Amino acid sequence: MKQFIILMGIIPFLLVFMMQYSLEQQNHYRLSLLQQIVYASKEQAKQDGYFTSENVKKLKSEIASNFDIAESEINIEVTSVPKYRINAFDERELIYYKVEVPIYKIIAGGKLFGISNEDNKMMYKIESYTSSEKLMP
């Protein structure tokens, strides 16, 4: 009976390991997917010379549906005026993009360890520049 009671006590603690494994895999899958989505959007922006409003809209909706979050929670800052391909390096002609997405659960059973919801989240950021392939008209 004593061992049974102890087992009952430590079962929630042991379950955390299994939950953490699943959560880590889920977060990793989502972040890898985010890298792919942003990469595809960036490739489109190279051709267009900037992030068109349709491109940004598609980017937001794809992220929102894959992350199960509202579009308003995604922070996107991108170049929205055309940049052109020129034959000399000029950083002003690069296309900038920054995508920030919230991850709401990093540790499974956070409350069991006294971690508040506020501390148990993070913003994942992808930020870089890309060159424009659009020719000057």
Partner 1 sequence: MKIFITFLAMLMLNIMFLIYQSDMNIYSREQNYVKAVAEECAAGAALYYEEIPYSIGVLKFNREEAEKHVQYIIDFSFEEEENASYKIDFFEEPETLVPKVNVNISISGKDYFRLSFLTKKEIVREASYELKTLD
What is the contact surface with partner 1 in residues (CB under 8 A)?
Answer: 3, 10, 14, 17, 20-21, 24-25, 27-28, 31-32, 35, 39, 46, 85, 87-89, 91, 94, 128-131, 133
Least gap, CB of 90 to partner 1 (angstroms) = 9
Least gap, CB of 72 to partner 1 (angstroms) = 26
Radius of gyration of the chain (CA): 21
Least gap, CB of 103 to partner 1 (angstroms) = 13
d(C-alpha 34, C-alpha 37), whole Å: 5
Cβ neighbors of 48 (< 8 A, separation 6 or more) are 55, 82, 134
Residues in the chain, total: 137
Nearer to partner 1, 34 or 74 (CB): 34
Phi, psi for residue 121 in degrees, rounded to 5: -140, 165
d(C-alpha 20, C-alpha 26), whole Å: 10
Nearer to partner 1, 91 or 118 (CB): 91
Nearer to partner 1, 70 or 92 (CB): 92
Nearer to partner 1, 14 or 70 (CB): 14
Give, in order, the Cα–Cα distances in Å from 26 to each of 3, 17, 21, 105. 34, 14, 9, 10
Least gap, CB of 35 to partner 1 (angstroms) = 6
